[in-house]
Amino acid sequence: MKYRSLSQTEARVILSLEAERQELVTLAGIEQRAGVTPGFARKLAHDLVRDGWLQRVRRGTYLLNPSRGGPEALPDTDPFRLGRRLVAPYYFAFATAAELHGFLPQASRTYYLVSTARSATYERPPARFRVVHCGPPLFFGTTSIDRRGERLVVSDPERTVLDCLNRPELSGGLGGVAQIFAQAKPRIDWRRFGSYLDRFGRRSLALRAGFLSERVRPSVRPPAAWVRARLARATDPYVPLGPSSTGGRAGPRDDRWHVIRNVSDAQLFAEGEIP
């Protein structure tokens, strides 16, 4: 088994970070702590990553794998510990948020975050991170949870359902969205969910949400007043239930919600309908 060791110069970097209880360090920070040139700081960073003391978060920024983890060269590969430091502000979203809330059994190896920063994809084996851009006015609906000693920002149940319905391709397809909605229904604050839909301002999204609110897990009914406030109006166009890019715009029409059912029940309830 390979054991981690430190040269005197490397120890100045690692021990100073631990003494200051700092988990993130930049190349400039390594240069300052070690008292070396910028070029040698880059070599130190490379060596410390290779030996399991640091892991790269983004260009020029590294996350400490502290000595309390033991002498073995096994970096902390918890994707949530790394992911929450990739961008700021952030929240875990889509299928990842659904997993954290217990609405999905497990997410894929891609971990989804939403940020007001630009969209980006980061490969950090064994995980892949996808950052989805969100304009500041729509950056809302978050909560904090503790997971293995890490404080994570994640979309709340209402925002999780809304995000997944808005971007089914990041949530296991419409079948995944139906499963997430069904599991989330007992925990939904319908007043909050309605206010989120209003803030998004997309009538097509509201109609699809209304349709699914009655169709999935019918034993848990949305409040009658909430339904009445969002039923389709005569002037509302018919909207596809699933993405038209994959399901087209043809199918049975639901006159109550003005939804075109371009997704079959077999696809919608691929994991089995929850009563």
The pLDDT value given to residue 70:
57
Q: Say if residue 1's pLDDT is above 70.
A: no
CA distance 141 to 13: 38
- Residue 57: its H or E element: strand 54-58
Q: What is the pTM of this model?
A: 0.86
- Residue 227 in contact with residue 210, Cβ under 8 Å? yes
All domains of the chain in start order, with CATH: 8-76 (1.10.10.10), 77-155 (no CATH), 157-275 (no CATH)
Mutual angle of helices 173-184 and 203-215, in 10-degree steps: 70
Q: The tokens of 136 are what?
A: 């500041």
CA distance 174 to 251: 15
The pLDDT value given to residue 108:
75
- Residue 196 in contact with residue 166, Cβ under 8 Å? no
Q: Say if residue 68's pLDDT is above 80.
A: no
Mean model confidence pLDDT for the chain: 91
- Residue 249 in contact with residue 239, Cβ under 8 Å? no
Q: Say if residue 111's pLDDT is above 60.
A: yes
* Vertex 6 angle, CA 4 and 8, to 5°: 175
pLDDT tens, position by position, 257-272? 999 999 999 888 877 7
pLDDT band of 223, cuts 50, 70, 90 = very high
The pLDDT value given to residue 83:
94
